[in-house]
Amino acid sequence: MIKSVLTNNNTLIKIRDVHFSRGSKEIFKGIDMDIQRGKVTAIMGPSGTGKTTLLKLIGGQLKPSRGTVELDGQNIHQLKNKSLYQLRKKMGMLFQSGALLTDISVFDNVAFPLREHTNLPESMIRSLVLMKLHAVGLRGARDLMPSELSGGMARRVALARAIALDPMMIMYDEPFTGQDPISMGVLVQLIRLLNDALGLTSIVVSHDVRETTAIADFVYLVSGGKVVGSGTPEQLAESDSEWAQQFLQGMPDGPVPFHYAAAPYTQDLIGL
Amino acid sequence: MLTYFQRLGVISLAMLERLGRASVFLMRILQHIPAVLLRFRLLISQIYSVGVLSFSLILLSGLFVGMVLGLQGYYTLSDFGAAESLGVVVAASLVRELGPVVAALLFAGRAGSALTAEIGLMKATEQLSGMEMMAVDPVARIITPRFLSGVISMPLLASVFSAVGIIGGYFIGVGMLGIDEGAYWSQMQAKIDFHEDIMNGLIKSVVFGVVVTWIAVFEGYDAIPTSEGVSLATTRTVVHSAFAILIIDFILTALMFGDI
């Protein structure tokens, strides 16, 4: 299933045989993935399959019970705290909620990583922040507070903040969820544009099939703790995998059944 | 019967495990204190929200507690013809006990609960996670300044509480009940010892400051990131703080003033 990309030297992130459990629930049962430099890679799957958990494993916020995650040749989970924090400066992450700091303005949110990690003069920070905000179309919203932003605007501000330190990669956690068509269109365009213009590597975790496949170079389908399909969007569309077809076409019944596991219907009704 | 002991064991283990996590968390906070002291502006803004915003509550409560002490003290002392000693009674009660204890209880209700709710909500809205992914340690950037501001603010608030309480006692004793003003102040000056009374009271309030703020920031950081989780954590902060204050106060009082 894993394509020839596994042997490609252009791989930024190598995930090998990753297992992860929460309590007694096994979330991943041996995941293998390769994320290519400079590409937009989508990780798709139904809700609750652990897509966000996978991003947290890549970011070193969670530790797998088995397996390795290598970023740029470094095993993330063997790094000391200091090295991990150094590496995180090269990663950007866009959370589903935006995760903006609610007690400071849009401008200060974008300036936050610059002020924390650099000794740049305030005049230069101002220029950089305005450039990042301009890139996401929100230079005019610099003085607003996060509570005054719409959901889509908050994600764009969070995107400006994520690229503030010019990272080498950026992870998007469900960027399209709950967005109106215009905001969705803006985000879809921004993810592709920023990836290409800044030479980033992007990982998009989503279950919005149309939007994600429109911008992804490569897609991994995850279900039941395993990778159940992978390939370019075109390859997946032509795939004869029943699971891939059910997910991509949004069919209510199939390998993922409509009914949650239960006793036979008649038995339940009659009470036998 | 066996089930009962089993449950008791499970609860005790869970409590011990939590205490262990809270202790490791405190160690992490202590490690970051030197760095936070260098970021003075960060600390000042937290002292404002934790300490200054609790000031009016402490001021008003201190005044009324002092006035009640003035009234009660006068009624009791006048039975023994010792009403002139009201100043000593009011000052000793406040400086040794009521100042640190009541100020700490009020501080836990006002600032402690606010700290827990703030940190818990930051966790629930992924702000702490977001910070980690920006390579900023939330314990260094968010928790330690809040902890330190609580530890600094608590003895100052307790001192203000005691001072205002003494003035409240003065209003009642001297202003309303006619005790001699000179007796009120001079007896207080003669009997209240700087080391024995004031310093011991101050030590108590520093200890309460550490304990209450530690409980508040830990509960926030450890909260289940849902609205119900944050609500439970906030309640726990106030309840655990109140218990901790009263138990520690007994131990400290026994050590400082008792012959146990």
What is the model's pLDDT at position B122? 94
Among A112, A114, A149, A169, the residue to mutate for chain B (most B Cβ within 10 A): A112
pLDDT of residue A24: 84
In the prediction, which pLDDT does B252 show? 94
The predicted pLDDT at position B147 comes to 96
**B195-217: average pLDDT:** 94
User: Which residues are within 8 A (CB) of A118 and not within 5 positions of it... i.e. 6 or more apart?
Assistant: A125
Decide if B135 and A97 are in contact by the 8 Å CB cutoff: no
A255: distance to nearest CA of chain B, Å? 32
Does the structure show a pLDDT above 80 at A8?
Answer: no
The residue type at B60: L
Sheet with strand A201-206: strands edge to edge: A91-94, A169-173, A201-206, A40-44, A218-223, A226-231
Instruction: Specify the number of domains making up chain A.
Output: 1
Question: Would you say residue A155 lies in a domain?
Answer: no
The answer to whether residue A138 sits within a structural domain is: no
Two structure tokens written together for A83: 């090295």
pLDDT at A2 over 60: no
Whether residue A5 has pLDDT greater than 70 = no
Residues 6+ positions from A189 with CB-CB distance below 8 Å? none
In a domain, residue A253? The reply is yes
Q: How far apart are CA A139 and CA A6, in angstroms?
A: 41
CB-based contacts of B170: which residues, under 8 Å, 6+ apart? B66, B70, B87, B90, B184
pLDDT tens-digit map of A11-44:
899 999 999 998 888 899 999 999 999 999 999 9
- State the average pLDDT over residues B231-244: 96
Residues of B within 8 A of A88 (CB-CB) are: 132-135
Tens of pLDDT along A250-266? 777 777 777 788 888 88
Q: What is the mean pLDDT of chain B?
A: 93
Question: By residue range, what is the domain housing residue A228?
Answer: 4-90+167-270
Give the nearest chain B residue to A167 (CA atoms): B134
pLDDT at residue A7 is higher than 50: no
- Cβ A85–B135 below 8 Å, yes or no? yes
B206 pLDDT more than 90: yes
CA distance B90 to chain A (A): 42
Whole-number Å distance between alpha carbons of A18 and A192:
28
% pLDDT > 70, chain A: 96
Query: How far is A221 from A257, CA to CA, in rounded Å?
Result: 17
What tokens does A172 get? 């998007």
Residues of chain A with Cβ-Cβ distance to B127 below 8 Å are 99-102
Give the gap in angstroms from C-alpha B60 to the nearest C-alpha of chain A. Answer: 29
Residue pair B202/B155 in contact (Cβ under 8 Å)? The answer is: yes
Count CB neighbours of A2 within 10 A. Answer: 12
pLDDT class for B148, splitting at 50, 70, 90?
very high
Asked if the structure places residue A146 within a domain, the reply is no
CB contact under 8 A, B135 and A102: no
∠ CA A213-A219-A225 to the nearest 5 degrees? 125
CATH number for the domain that contains residue A208: 3.40.50.300
Give the pLDDT score at B260. Answer: 55
Is the pLDDT confidence value at B251 over 90? Answer: yes
Tens digits of residue pLDDT in A94-142: 988 889 999 899 999 999 999 999 999 999 999 999 999 998 889 999 9
Nearest chain A alpha carbon to B137: A85
pLDDT tens-digit profile of B109-147?
A: 999 999 999 999 999 999 999 999 999 999 999 999 999
**What pLDDT sits at residue A129?**
95
Mapped to the 3 state alphabet, what secondary structure does chain B carry? CHHHHHHHHHHHHHHHHHHHHHHHHHHHHHHHHHHHHHCHHHHHHHHHHHCHHHHHHHHHHHHHHHHHHHHHHHHHHHHCCCHHHHHHHHHHHHHHHHHHHHHHHHHHHHHHHHHHHHHHHHHHCCHHHHHHHCCCCHHHHHHHHHHHHHHHHHHHHHHHHHHHHHHHHHHHHHHHCCCCHHHHHHHHHHHCCHHHHHHHHHHHHHHHHHHHHHHHHHHHHCCCCCHHHHHHHHHHHHHHHHHHHHHHHHHHHHHHHCCC
Taking CA–CA distances from B123, the nearest residue in chain A reads A99
* Chain B closest-CA separation from residue A1 CA (Å): 31
Query: Could you tell me if residue B220 is inside a domain?
Result: yes
Residue A10: per-residue pLDDT: 87
B72 within a domain of the structure (yes/no):
yes
Is residue A31 situated within a structural domain? yes
Does the structure show a pLDDT above 90 at A152? no
| Among B125, B133, B134, beta carbon nearest to A112 | B134
Q: Is the pLDDT of residue B1 over 60?
A: yes
Mean pLDDT of A237-255: 79
Compare A238 and A9 and report the one with higher pLDDT: A238
Q: Do B130 and A99 touch (CB under 8 A)?
A: yes
Q: How far is B94 from chain A (nearest CA, A)?
A: 37
Residue spans of alpha helices (H) in A165-241: 181-198, 209-215, 233-237
Burial class (CB in 10 A: 0-12, 13-18, 19+), B121: middle
Instruction: Tell me, yes or no, whether B107 lies in a domain.
Output: yes
Amino acid residing at A54? L
Interchain CB contact of A161 with B (< 8 Å): yes
**Domain count for chain B:** 1
Give the range of the structural domain holding residue B116, as residue numbers without chain letter: 37-257
* Chain B residues touching A95 at Cβ < 8 A: 126, 129-130, 133
Residue B173, pLDDT > 50, answer: yes
Residue B42's region, left for phi above 0, alpha for psi from -120 to 50, else beta, is alpha
The span from the CA of B207 to the CA of B203, in Å, is 6
| Facing residue for A99 by CB, picked from B126, B137, B141 | B126
In a domain, residue B164? The reply is: yes
Inform me whether the C-beta atom of residue A8 falls under 8 Å from chain B C-beta atoms. no
Chain B interface test: which of A81, A103, A110 (most B C-beta within 10 Å): A103
Looking at residue A1, what is its pLDDT?
Answer: 43
In chain B, what is the straight-line distance between the N-terminal and C-terminal CA atoms, in Å? 37
d(CA A63, CA B205): 41
pLDDT at B259: 62
Beta-carbon separation of B135 and A117 below 8 A: yes
Return the top range by mean pLDDT from A45-49, A92-96, A179-183, B242-246: B242-246
- Write out pLDDT tens, residues A182-237: 888 888 888 998 899 888 999 999 888 888 888 999 999 888 888 888 899 888 88
- Residue B154 to residue B157: CA distance in whole angstroms: 5
pLDDT band at A158; cut points 50, 70, 90? very high
